[in-house]
């Protein structure tokens, strides 16, 4: 039996592998990747590499073994994820894996925004497969905001259409630690965890924190969704992606990403990383 992490060279996947390496021997971990060259550093540390391309079901047939514990990290290509995830689920079932953990979205079947649709369908497919499963319903990553700090600092504003809605975000490392805990622990089969930060914050509070960390005046500008769409497209985002982000902001306005169940902190055995800490580190890194 091995612990298999799909998308292991991605931003979340590599953190999950690193977390696993703190408690699991390297030869008990499999990095399932599209390109073995990108995972050469993991192979050098003793991690087994297997090819697993979501878009090539033939590769998935050899990615899993009977008894493996598998983490299916959701694909990054919105609009393509259902067929991609279906291929992984089918391969996992054919192999007879002992656990399929899936990184979905906070709220699961109750999430009512466009970005959640493919996650909800994937959960339905996993349930229909009969596979032993665990649903990791990840909330928003704080890095979704801090990765965009350069233009925020350049323009002196956090622009959104989320109103005073609150966001219970956590870091990728927090979510990775939760995935590792579920993959290495017992009692998680059939469970759905609503994962989010301990404290929800507003974008006005985020702007104030960026101001404190940077020493620059940063304001929060709430704009109508249509205006935000135009700004995002003008900044170079494809119209489809911009529409999804605007829709997420509307969900934030409705409180859909504000839930604080405490599941994440319980799984990782510590408080989640505060937004302020992540902002300070991101500003310092610029």
> Over its length of 286 residues, how does the chain's per-residue pLDDT go in tens digits?
899 999 999 999 999 999 999 999 999 999 999 999 999 999 999 999 999 999 999 999 899 999 999 999 998 888 889 999 999 999 999 999 999 999 999 999 999 999 999 999 999 999 999 999 999 999 999 999 999 999 999 999 999 999 999 999 999 999 999 999 999 999 999 999 999 999 999 999 999 999 999 999 999 999 999 999 999 999 999 999 999 999 999 999 999 999 999 999 999 999 999 999 999 999 999 9
Same domain, 206 and 241: yes
Give the full edge-to-edge strand order of the sheet including 99-105: 48-51, 29-33, 3-6, 69-72, 99-105, 133-138, 191-195
Give yes or no for a contact between 24 and 3, defined as CB atoms under 8 angstroms apart: yes
CA distance 5 to 283: 31
Same domain, 52 and 97: yes
- The residue among 122, 67, 120 whose CA lies nearest residue 92 is 67
The pLDDT value recorded for residue 189 is 98
Same domain, 199 and 277: yes
DSSP code for 141? B
Is residue 187 in some structural domain? no
Same domain, 69 and 134: yes
Range of the domain at 108: 3-138
Is residue 264 in some structural domain? no
Same domain, 157 and 74: no
CA distance 91 to 183: 18
Cα 8 from chain centroid?
Answer: 13
Is residue 276 in some structural domain? yes
Same domain, 153 and 30: no
Query: For the domain that residue 99 is a member of, what is the CATH number?
Result: 3.40.50.720
**Cα-Cα-Cα-Cα dihedral of 170, 124, 68, 73, to 10°?**
-40
Checking DSSP bridges between strand 48-51 and strand 29-33, what pairing results, if any? parallel
The pLDDT value recorded for residue 79 is 80
Is residue 185 in some structural domain? no
Cα 284 from chain centroid?
Answer: 24
Same domain, 99 and 203: no
Same domain, 164 and 282: yes
What is the token pair recorded at 211? 């101001």
Query: For the domain that residue 275 is a member of, what is the CATH number?
Result: 3.90.25.10
Same domain, 279 and 210: yes
Domain boundary among 138, 161, 181: 138
pTM above 0.85, yes or no: yes
The pLDDT value recorded for residue 80 is 87
Is residue 16 in some structural domain? yes
**Total count of residues recorded for the chain:** 286
The pLDDT value recorded for residue 159 is 97
Same domain, 284 and 143: yes
Same domain, 99 and 155: no
Q: How many domains does the chain have?
A: 2
């Amino acid at each position: 039996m091995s612990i298999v992490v799909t998308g292991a060279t991605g931003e979340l996947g590599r953190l999950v592998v690193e977390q696993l390496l703190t408690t699991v021997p390297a030869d008990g971990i499999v990095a399932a990747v599209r390109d073995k060259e990108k995972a050469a550093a993991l192979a050098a540390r003793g991690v087994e590499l297997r090819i697993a391309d979501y878009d090539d079901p033939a590769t998935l047939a050899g990615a899993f073994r009977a008894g493996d514990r598998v983490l299916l990290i959701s694909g990054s290509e919105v609009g393509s994820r259902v067929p991609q995830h279906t291929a992984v689920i089918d391969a996992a079932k054919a192999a007879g894996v002992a656990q399929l953990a899936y990184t979905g979205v906070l709220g699961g079947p109750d999430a009512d925004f466009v970005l959640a649709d493919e996650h909800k369908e994937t959960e339905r497919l996993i349930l229909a497969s009969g596979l032993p499963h665990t649903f990791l319903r990840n909330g928003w990553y704080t890095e979704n905001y801090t990765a965009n700090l350069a233009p925020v600092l350049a323009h002196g504003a956090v622009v959104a259409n989320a109103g005073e809605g609150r966001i219970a975000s956590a870091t990728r490392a927090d979510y990775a630690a939760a995935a590792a805990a579920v993959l290495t622990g017992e009692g998680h089969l059939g469970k759905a965890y609503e994962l989010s930060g301990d404290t929800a914050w507003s974008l006005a509070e985020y702007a104030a924190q960026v101001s404190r960390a940077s020493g620059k005046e940063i304001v929060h500008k709430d704009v109508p969704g249509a205006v935000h769409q135009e700004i995002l497209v003008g900044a170079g985002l494809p119209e489809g992606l911009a529409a999804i982000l605007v829709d997420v902001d509307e969900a934030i306005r409705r409180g859909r990403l504000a839930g604080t169940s405490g599941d994440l902190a319980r799984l990782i055995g510590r408080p989640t990383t505060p937004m302020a800490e992540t902002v300070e580190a991101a500003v310092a890194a610029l």
